[in-house]
Amino acid sequence: MALARIRTLTLVGLEGHLVDIEVDIAEGLPSYTLLGLPDTALTESRDRVRSALVNSGFTWPNRRVIVSLSPAWLPKKGSNFDLPIAIALLVATGEITQESCDEIIFVGELGLDGSLRFVRGVLPTLLAATKEGITQSIIPRANKEEAALVRSIRSVSASSLSGAVHFLVTGEISDEPSVSDTEFFQETHLDLLDVVGQKSARFASEISAIGGHHILFIGPPGTGKTMLAERIPTILPPLSHERALEVSAIHSVAGILGERGALSPLPPFISPHHTTTSPAMVGGGSHVVRPGAVSLAHEGILFIDEAPECAPGVLDSLRQPLESGEVTISRASGSVTYPANFLLVLAANPCPCGKYSGRGRGCTCSSVQIRRYLQKLSGPLLDRIDIRTFVEAPTRTEMASENYGESSAQVRERVIQARAASAERFANDPWLLNSRIPPRELRGRFTAQRQAMSFLHSELDSERLSARGFHKVLRLAWSVADQKGHTIPTLDDAHVAYQLREGMEIL
């Protein structure tokens, strides 16, 4: 037949759209026309597909070839259209029957020798295919592991165009490797036992993990700020299967799924350098909009060391994702929305030289320099940070002690129990964490004991707390109460929450 139709999907962010690839081979001067808003990579597919077909033993039609990608209004991007275009050409020339390709989606980039190469975004593509009722796919063998995560669709992996055609003609899969579930998981060797001392900072980290509260560590260099931040993921509850799939889908689109491990239950830890740009932080790109650090940290930790050294505007670009839990990137070709529900952890030195502390370490910075340095963190951003804690250098006694404190496993168990208590409390609500309680509910159903509310109102009246700070402290009080097993925040819980909010030493 001279007309063929093959199906594939294209991604807009994490949202998949079905694309019909129609090929018409007609009499006329040899030509190749590609329709349907293709980008540069897709336009170049003509030469890749032609070489792949010829080098795989097939013939290139020496006639007028028209390839149409529908819907025509949707921009098409990437080289993952190579395989479906090649299959559509083979159907149109009669090498393969149309019936053998129905209800199958094809995804893959072709090499000039006909090999199938790794492409980004296979996991979210297959997840979108299942929602469209697709039950079978053919993908590159290099994407086999992430495809195996979607058990509701049968994914046949092929190493070459010839292998894909062999399956369509005979139904046989040639030397397909098996994939074990254990290959998907990633463990970590980090543990809170590595951190010496830091009792207050440990407690602040635990409260942060319980309620999803953003945290700022301030302290001289070498006191353990980065060590504490790196170990917060080890005290967070493991990701559920659905959340792990969502995180893996984002990393698949970014092309870094192999660095993390597919379906790892460990919350992601993303630490961009302080010289990073705003597009790298929130996402962007001129042709293909890629997820930024805030989306890669979805359901995990976004850690920014040396936060005051970030370029102006970079940290302030986090304000919208912190509030909404997602980020929308607009370009001339359209808008893309990625999830960005993360726990922000900042670390900063107390002054430009880093030696300022309560114990006196020879700091030579003036009060003006210290104030100007910390003012690099804007007020609106700091107002969104729930916990501020000072990290002092461990003492000689702490360094020599054999009492290493609690392990990550012990703390994680308390965090899981505390989150279970809050989940029961929010069973009929759309939020799950204390940090997400709306202000209206804090003034209604989720108030603290009378003495605690009196204390917070007195701080509000004396202008030591803003309206936002009042709500932040009350949310923190609920997390402290969950950690201690209280059914409602007490006056002591409110005092502790206030100390955490203001960066005071917890007594």
| Shared domain check, 480 and 370 | no
Q: Is residue 172 assigned to a domain?
A: yes
Q: What's the pLDDT score for residue 359?
A: 59
3-state secondary structure 379-431: HHHHCCCCEEEECCCCCHHHHHCCCCCCCHHHHHHHHHHHHHHHHHHCCCCCC
Q: How far is CA 168 from the centre of its chain?
A: 36
Q: What's the pLDDT score for residue 180?
A: 47
Q: Which domain holds residue 145?
A: 3-179
Q: Which of 179, 201, 219 is the last residue of a domain?
A: 179
Give the residue-averaged pLDDT of 188-211.
Answer: 89
Q: What's the pLDDT score for residue 361?
A: 62
Q: Closest Cα partner for 321 from 338, 346, 309, 333?
A: 338
Amino acid found at 276 = T
Q: Is residue 184 assigned to a domain?
A: no
The answer to whether residue 183 scores a pLDDT higher than 50 is no
Give the residue-averaged pLDDT of 358-376.
Answer: 78
Q: Is residue 404 assigned to a domain?
A: yes
CB 351 within 8 A of CB 365: yes
- CA angle, corner 298, sides to 485 and 129, nearest 5? 120
Q: Is residue 405 assigned to a domain?
A: yes
CB-count exposure of residue 64 (10 Å: 0-12, 13-18, 19+): middle
Q: Closest Cα partner for 272 from 237, 320, 306, 247?
A: 306
| Shared domain check, 414 and 489 | no
Contacts of 407-410 with CB under 8 Å at 24 or more apart are: 407/191, 407/192, 407/193, 408/190, 408/191, 408/192, 408/193, 408/231, 408/234, 408/235, 409/191
* Residue spans of beta strands (DSSP E) within 305-383: 326-331, 334-339, 343-348
- Which of residues 229 and 505 earns the better pLDDT score? 229
| Shared domain check, 316 and 170 | no
| Shared domain check, 415 and 447 | no
Q: Which of 427, 449, 481 is the last residue of a domain?
A: 427
| Shared domain check, 250 and 138 | no
The answer to whether residue 83 scores a pLDDT higher than 50 is yes
| Shared domain check, 175 and 148 | yes
Helix (H) or strand (E) holding 19: strand 15-26
| Shared domain check, 444 and 371 | no
| Shared domain check, 417 and 317 | yes
| Shared domain check, 407 and 261 | yes
- Which of residues 356 and 186 earns the better pLDDT score? 356
pLDDT, tens digit, for every residue of 215-262? 999 988 888 899 999 999 999 999 998 899 999 999 999 888 877 777
| Shared domain check, 334 and 227 | yes
| Shared domain check, 122 and 64 | yes
The answer to whether residue 425 scores a pLDDT higher than 90 is yes
Q: Residue 412 sits in a domain of what CATH number?
A: 3.40.50.300
How far is 433 from 211, CA to CA, in rounded Å? Answer: 5
Scanning the structure block, which residue is given the tokens 């932080």? 281
Q: What's the pLDDT score for residue 399?
A: 77
Helix (H) or strand (E) holding 170: helix 161-170
Q: What's the pLDDT score for residue 181?
A: 45
Q: Which of 376, 408, 427 is the last residue of a domain?
A: 427
Give the residue-averaged pLDDT of 304-320.
Answer: 90
pLDDT, tens digit, for every residue of 105-160? 999 999 999 999 999 999 999 999 999 999 999 999 999 988 988 988 999 999 99
Give the residue-averaged pLDDT of 371-385.
Answer: 86
| Shared domain check, 401 and 376 | yes
At residue 182 the predicted structure's pLDDT band, cuts being 50, 70 and 90, is very low
